[in-house]
Structure 1
Amino acid sequence: MAPTNQALEDALTDLKNASVTPAKQRKTRVAEPVAIICEIAFDHGLSGDSLDIIVDIITQPNELDQNTVASIVNSLYPSTKVSEDVVLKIVGCLGQGQSKPPSSTQAGLLRWLIMVHGVLESHRMLSNLYGVLFNMLDMISLRLELARNIGNEPALVGLIRMYKDYYPDVIIGSAGSGRASFFSHPSPEWCKRLLVIQEESAQARSESRQHQSAFKVVRNGAKRSKVSAVPEVHTSRANESSVTLEEVENVNDFIEKLDRLELPNQLVSVLGDPLLQKFLSLRSSDTRRIESWLSAFFDDELQLAKRGQHPSSRLSNFLRTYIASWDGAWNQEVILELVACLPIRPWDEYYDAFFRPVEEAILDNSDSSRIALLGFYTSLFRHWTVQLLAVSTQQHTSESPSVTMQRLTAHVDLLSLTTIVASSSSIPSVSAVLAFYECVADAIMQVSNPKLLRISVPGDAIVYLLSFNGDAMSLSRLCAILAKYKRAFEASMATAAPGEGYPRDYVNHFNGFLMDICNCLWRNRAFNKEDTNALGCLLPDSVLPALRKAATARGYSLPTLFSLSYSEALCALSIACFRELEDRAAEGNTAIRVRHAGPVTQRSLTLLGNDGGLKISWGDYRLEVLKWLEEKGLVGVGELMYNTLKQLMLAKGSGAGAAAATA
């Protein structure tokens, strides 16, 4: 017996014992078994036997308090059809008398009968008991004459109006007048949960039957067939000498008739039928028909998705089924594009059904697989952003879209870090990571409402690994991303209502990224932690002495090794810029007797000017480098400097705010 079933059985035994034992004489608290029963009932529903036991307990005289009984009644979620016996027991406990439950319990059970009406095993019993229920109207709590005394009570007025509709001759006076509403559903939310439990239970029973009879064609019933894009197995081309799969009853039958079995009308049924899967595994040449059908189907659906049409429930169910057995390679681009078009839903609703199977199918420890997966999540984030811009929050599900997007970003953070480390920062892998964060940066610039999309800062390790990976284009793209994040923070902080802004520590930590990069590239103060918000690139203090010693031993100064002139990513570009400045000066008839050997420093520029070389200040040289990088398409470094450093803001005339770190 499964642990859940055993726990429920023990709890029911304890509840039964407590129901016949006065509260003062009990050795254990009744709340414990009740909590177990309610939890299991909400998660999995109650079987017919368990429901029968509980109804027996609460419809008979017992020692349970009303709060306990009410909790139990509110948790009576049946996992299967409700039997006629249960209906009879509940109706039989109604009325007045010492052997009857309290009126509150009777009201709760009547309310429960209304809510489970759709899952009754048969409605015949209720029809047969109509006379019994009608005769209970003479109870003082339900007597129609009370309408004159209690006024327009909605349920009572609704009942009187109903009688008036069916029997116009009945004189009811003013009792049926007014605007009191007719009967309303007791609890739509309760019934939604009941429907989920019933469907999960039915699916589990169906899978169990399929497992027990794997050599029979699957039949899911008309209701499930309507929501599935995968057709069931049907064969219409059989002749006298052949046998259809529908005729196979067991494994012996399958073996005996194997050489005479006829293929079904639509081979794509193989996706949902284990018997057909077994048959086709012995006839692999027929799988080409399936591949052709799937290719055409996916292409058609993708074209619809590109025109803005979300995947239908049939397609979603089909993708869920197909991805579970997908090899991750066949039609990869089309399938990933289709999954990326799914409408935004809570992360947990999608991850196990779609994203985890996609990851398991694609990832194989290769750079290409990680790049493909990052591209998929980038497309998904972009698609969801479009939905956020088009749909109001009231039309979303229980989990806010902002939480869903944050969970997606956090998941890709981990994938990105793994990709960067595992690929040794290869250019294609880094580019795929940056493409995702460029997508996020664009989104937070467009969606200014933090209720829809809150700013999720990239992980520390990702920022610093990309900062020092030695590629100029990657560094430029990272700087452009951080510049957009900075502007998004400024815009949000300027317009956010009280309580909707971002924690100061969160913003300051982001500002630390900006300060560290500026200290490295612009201020010749790499790994400094004394400046406001500076994090020193999160390098441990114990490591710095060894780095300084190693740099000094080679004739360098550690704080300047990552500047515009010395940075592995920018040093060649910086000296190329300076060479161009020297060439332009020479072409303009300026005497250039000495050329700079490089790298350029503040001191070397002073010496160069005194020796007859190009005369330019340290500040102007750095501005020329930023300008030169922009002309070559590397605009990100300049964007970050101009948006972060106060003196450059003034020089550029931007007038930008100082929500992020400035120098």
Structure 2
Amino acid sequence: MSSPEGDDLGRLIGDLEAASKVPAKRRQVGIKSTIDRTTSLLSDKGALPDELARLVELLTVRNHLDQASLAAILRNLYPLGKVSDEVVLRFVGALGHGQLKPSLPLQALMLRWLVMVYHLLESPTILSQAYGVLFNLLDTAAIRPPLCHLLALVTRRKHVRPFRIQAILNLSRQTGGDPNLTGLLRVFKNYYPEIIVGDATKGRAAAFKHPDPQWRARLDEIQQQHPEHQDDGGLRNGFAVNHALGRRLKGTKALFPTVHTLHAQESSVTLEEIDSAESLAKNLEKIELPTQLVAVLADPLLQKFLLLRPDAEAFSRIANWLMACLDDVARGDADPAYLEDLLVVIHDYAVSTKTLPPLLLTFFERYLSVWHGSEKWDMVLEALSFVPLLEFKDLSKILEQLEHSILDNTSASQIALLKFYTLLLRRWIVAVEAAEHLDSLPWASIPELIEHVNRLALTLTQTSPTVGTYLIILDFYAAASMLYSKPRILEHIDITIPPPILVYLLFFSRSLAVMSRLCGVLVAYKRVWEAAMSSAVRRELSQHERAQVNVFNGFLMDVCNCLWRGRAFSMTDVNAQGCRIPRSIQPALESYLRAADPDLSLSTVFDLSHSPLLCLQSISFVRLLEEVDLEVIRSRHAGPVTQSSLSQLAQRGGLRLSWQEYRSGVLDYLESKGFPGVSQLMHNTMKNLMKARR
């Protein structure tokens, strides 16, 4: 017998189609092996839409295949991709009594299959359209359990009618209180509790759990292997109630409430009836608030509804529910794991709505007091990154609790916190750019946050002095410079620069990438200062800003002195700070250099030719020019390049390259290698380079 891997499902289906037309006694070859190979392939790879349609036709049309073979195919009928309306209607049409209908056990398996693939239906409304046909089959006891389960999934408010309620009540009395009918009646009661009264729903009821979790797990694996797979379990219809919400929280005893509108009137409109954007817009003012409003945290339609029609009482009810959950955990009346599940839902809400309303800020204030900070860092930090721009005294309450929970004397926790502050600042940039009334915003919070992060960044240079950490620090200041670069925003906010010690530590790091990024950030800040002192911004600099201008100009002067002017650590120029190196130390550094190499000088040791970060790039640029003129030149430069060595090189028959051409060429070479920061800073600071570029 050939292996399943060597079989072709289409060919096997063709063999079954041929066998289905011939009575078993007249077949020359048995079909058991074909059935085994078919079911094995279906279980291994699933059925494509055209293969699925052919198999469903075999299952629904009377033929000569035995019931055991058909049942085996149906139990292993794993679809790839969506389930088409044609497949659904074929199964629905095969239900009921008649000589040409499949057997009732096979019909029960068909209904069970529809329940298990309900989330993959191409058009879920197709079963809603066939609701009457399905409902009228409830008197068939053999298919009632899976039929009630399917109807429970399909039922919406429009399907609940008095004649159907009466039909279920009558059938329930005739069957002695069938649990499946009682379960379906409870679904009906969710929509009209004032109509369904009495003891009808108090008996034992079916729970309508998934018929076969292992089958569903295998289906998910097959779907993920398919190249056109779409993860519908993670995607939610933005204009339909998420009826599967309760299954989102695993491992918690208390299910998260779903959207249900109880005590609705015949003429009222509920969220459960909304199935499109047009329907939501048309009925926005008529929709009644659902009973469990806290479902807004995970239901996309309810989120949109409360954003479009906010309600103070609704938000108060949601806040009360969340606080009750926290109180239960604090008192020990609820499993602490429930808070983790709740956090997942709140995180998803914040990410999907891009907001964190005041009620959730209150929740986090309480949550952080009981959170140990060791689980779900990423979710807590990402959710809190949507905190709106608040007064810093209000914001600091949450930030202090967050830092107290997360910081554990490790650099990893400090880096996580810095990344959070960078993300928070970026969110604020988006929010303030979209705001219409800027005057009312608490602008002072932004400089205070930057000052707060300044201390964290300096701490990180001591606890984790690595290239990766330095680049993360620069990410924050790049975001800050981006915020200041908006003239509309700059009119309302004071500029805050990085601490001087931090700038010099980053400049003298062992990474060219860090130096380049730092120079790029300094260029961005320079343009911000120029804009702030121009007529484009209608405000005067504050006293604190004027003091910072001089400090910032010192950064520029010191960097240019090191890289370009050959005057490292000089303090004779206006605003020069000597890179904050005390003068008393400079003679010792000079002596050390002379002892190491008599040709080295402290003033030039960090220029383009001698800097440990730039010397390789500089000489590589010269080598590149020499390779071009290799047939002409008689001598090559040994390096490092100086103004004097270039003159001597030309006299020996080497490259004819002026000192200015060499340095400009190195800057261009750095840009071509992905290090544009140094070139940008020089061209925006040195006057001779500004003129040359213009």
Q: TM-score, normalized by length of structure 2?
A: 0.52
The alignment partner of 1:558 has SS state of: coil
In the other structure, the counterpart of 1:469 is 509
* Residues in 2 aligned to 1:316 and 1:581: alpha-carbon distance in whole angstroms: 61
In the other structure, the counterpart of 1:32 is none
| Residues 420-431 of structure 1: pairs in structure 2 closer than 5 A | 420-423=461-464, 425-431=465-471
Match of 1:532 among 545, 566, 574: 574
**1:218-277 deviation digits (Å, cap 9, x = unpaired):** xxx999765335163xxxxxxxxxxxxxxxxxxxxxxxxxxxxxxxxxxxx2x2236642
**Given residue 637 of structure 2, which amino acid in structure 1 is its aligned partner?**
H
* Residues in 2 aligned to 1:592 and 1:411: alpha-carbon distance in whole angstroms: 58
The alignment partner of 2:322 has SS state of: coil
Match of 1:320 among 365, 369, 372: 365
In the other structure, the counterpart of 2:492 is 452
Question: How far off its partner does 1:316 sit?
Answer: 1.6
| 2:324 corresponds to 1:272 | no
* Residues in 2 aligned to 1:549 and 1:500: alpha-carbon distance in whole angstroms: 44
Match of 1:298 among 347, 354, 371: 347
* Residues in 1 aligned to 2:552 and 2:323: alpha-carbon distance in whole angstroms: 53
**Given residue 461 of structure 2, which amino acid in structure 1 is its aligned partner?**
I
Q: Note closer, same or farther for the CA distance 1:222–1:405 as it changes in structure 2 (3 Å cut).
A: closer
| 2:391 corresponds to 1:346 | yes
Match of 2:319 among 227, 237, 242: 227
| Residues 595-634 of structure 1: pairs in structure 2 closer than 5 A | 595-634=636-675
Match of 1:542 among 562, 580, 584: 584
Q: Decide whether the 8 Å contact of 2:329 with 2:336 is kept in 1.
A: no
Q: Decide whether the 8 Å contact of 1:362 with 1:369 is kept in 2.
A: yes
In the other structure, the counterpart of 1:646 is 687
Question: How far off its partner does 1:643 sit?
Answer: 0.3
Q: Decide whether the 8 Å contact of 2:350 with 2:386 is kept in 1.
A: no
Question: How far off its partner does 1:533 sit?
Answer: 1.7
Question: How far off its partner does 1:304 sit?
Answer: 1.5
**1:353-400 deviation digits (Å, cap 9, x = unpaired):** x11121122222323222111110011111122222233566636xx4
**Given residue 327 of structure 1, which amino acid in structure 2 is its aligned partner?**
H
Q: Decide whether the 8 Å contact of 1:593 with 1:612 is kept in 2.
A: yes
Question: How far off its partner does 1:334 sit?
Answer: 2.2
Structure 2 portions without partners, runs of 5+:
1-312
**Given residue 357 of structure 2, which amino acid in structure 1 is its aligned partner?**
S
**Given residue 439 of structure 1, which amino acid in structure 2 is its aligned partner?**
A
Q: Note closer, same or farther for the CA distance 1:539–1:317 as it changes in structure 2 (3 Å cut).
A: same
In the other structure, the counterpart of 1:147 is none
**1:49-101 deviation digits (Å, cap 9, x = unpaired):** xxxxxxxxxxxxxxxxxxxxxxxxxxxxxxxxxxxxxxxxxxxxxxxxxxxxx
* Residues in 2 aligned to 1:291 and 1:492: alpha-carbon distance in whole angstroms: 46
Question: How far off its partner does 1:500 sit?
Answer: 4.2
Match of 1:571 among 615, 620, 640: 615
- Number of aligned residue pairs: 378
Q: Decide whether the 8 Å contact of 1:447 with 1:453 is kept in 2.
A: no
Question: How far off its partner does 1:568 sit?
Answer: 1.8
Match of 1:484 among 516, 521, 524: 524
* Residues in 2 aligned to 1:581 and 1:299: alpha-carbon distance in whole angstroms: 56
Question: How far off its partner does 1:575 sit?
Answer: 1.7
The alignment partner of 2:603 has SS state of: helix
In the other structure, the counterpart of 2:102 is none
Match of 2:379 among 322, 327, 334: 334
Q: Note closer, same or farther for the CA distance 1:410–1:431 as it changes in structure 2 (3 Å cut).
A: same
Q: Note closer, same or farther for the CA distance 1:464–1:500 as it changes in structure 2 (3 Å cut).
A: closer
* Residues in 2 aligned to 1:311 and 1:340: alpha-carbon distance in whole angstroms: 9
Q: Note closer, same or farther for the CA distance 1:349–1:501 as it changes in structure 2 (3 Å cut).
A: closer
Question: How far off its partner does 1:501 sit?
Answer: 6.1
* Residues in 1 aligned to 2:429 and 2:323: alpha-carbon distance in whole angstroms: 34
* Residues in 2 aligned to 1:223 and 1:369: alpha-carbon distance in whole angstroms: 33
Q: Decide whether the 8 Å contact of 1:448 with 1:492 is kept in 2.
A: no
Q: Note closer, same or farther for the CA distance 1:498–1:336 as it changes in structure 2 (3 Å cut).
A: closer
The alignment partner of 1:593 has SS state of: coil
**1:570-590 deviation digits (Å, cap 9, x = unpaired):** 12222222221211222xx4x
Q: Decide whether the 8 Å contact of 2:439 with 2:492 is kept in 1.
A: no
Q: Note closer, same or farther for the CA distance 1:351–1:509 as it changes in structure 2 (3 Å cut).
A: same
Match of 1:311 among 356, 364, 371: 356
Question: How far off its partner does 1:525 sit?
Answer: 0.6
Q: Note closer, same or farther for the CA distance 1:324–1:447 as it changes in structure 2 (3 Å cut).
A: farther
| Residues 495-534 of structure 1: pairs in structure 2 closer than 5 A | 495=535, 496-497=537-538, 499-500=540-541, 504-534=546-576
Question: How far off its partner does 1:509 sit?
Answer: 2.0
Q: Note closer, same or farther for the CA distance 1:347–1:231 as it changes in structure 2 (3 Å cut).
A: closer
Q: Note closer, same or farther for the CA distance 1:361–1:386 as it changes in structure 2 (3 Å cut).
A: same
* Residues in 2 aligned to 1:518 and 1:462: alpha-carbon distance in whole angstroms: 17
**Given residue 368 of structure 2, which amino acid in structure 1 is its aligned partner?**
I
Structure 1 portions without partners, runs of 5+:
1-220, 233-268, 281-285, 654-663
Q: Note closer, same or farther for the CA distance 1:382–1:223 as it changes in structure 2 (3 Å cut).
A: closer
The alignment partner of 1:227 has SS state of: helix
* Residues in 2 aligned to 1:564 and 1:394: alpha-carbon distance in whole angstroms: 45
* Residues in 2 aligned to 1:497 and 1:443: alpha-carbon distance in whole angstroms: 17
Question: How far off its partner does 1:565 sit?
Answer: 1.2
Q: Note closer, same or farther for the CA distance 1:298–1:523 as it changes in structure 2 (3 Å cut).
A: same
**Given residue 417 of structure 1, which amino acid in structure 2 is its aligned partner?**
L
The alignment partner of 1:364 has SS state of: coil
**1:470-513 deviation digits (Å, cap 9, x = unpaired):** 21010001101111111111111112446446654432221111
Q: Decide whether the 8 Å contact of 2:432 with 2:438 is kept in 1.
A: no
Q: Decide whether the 8 Å contact of 1:605 with 1:616 is kept in 2.
A: yes
* Residues in 1 aligned to 2:617 and 2:330: alpha-carbon distance in whole angstroms: 65
- Higher mean Cα deviation, 322-331 or 405-414? 322-331
In the other structure, the counterpart of 1:169 is none
- Higher mean Cα deviation, 496-505 or 316-325? 496-505
Identity of aligned residues (%): 37
**1:198-218 deviation digits (Å, cap 9, x = unpaired):** xxxxxxxxxxxxxxxxxxxxx
In the other structure, the counterpart of 1:443 is 483
* Residues in 2 aligned to 1:222 and 1:431: alpha-carbon distance in whole angstroms: 44
Q: Note closer, same or farther for the CA distance 1:447–1:390 as it changes in structure 2 (3 Å cut).
A: farther
Q: Decide whether the 8 Å contact of 1:595 with 1:614 is kept in 2.
A: yes
Q: Decide whether the 8 Å contact of 2:483 with 2:489 is kept in 1.
A: no
Question: How far off its partner does 1:452 sit?
Answer: 2.2
Question: How far off its partner does 1:600 sit?
Answer: 1.4
* Residues in 1 aligned to 2:401 and 2:323: alpha-carbon distance in whole angstroms: 22
Q: Note closer, same or farther for the CA distance 1:222–1:315 as it changes in structure 2 (3 Å cut).
A: closer
Question: How far off its partner does 1:330 sit?
Answer: 2.2
Q: Decide whether the 8 Å contact of 1:225 with 1:231 is kept in 2.
A: no
Q: Note closer, same or farther for the CA distance 1:367–1:613 as it changes in structure 2 (3 Å cut).
A: farther
* Residues in 2 aligned to 1:632 and 1:428: alpha-carbon distance in whole angstroms: 20
Q: Decide whether the 8 Å contact of 1:450 with 1:500 is kept in 2.
A: no
In the other structure, the counterpart of 1:585 is 629
* Residues in 2 aligned to 1:231 and 1:489: alpha-carbon distance in whole angstroms: 46
The alignment partner of 1:407 has SS state of: helix
The alignment partner of 2:534 has SS state of: helix
Q: Decide whether the 8 Å contact of 1:272 with 1:321 is kept in 2.
A: no
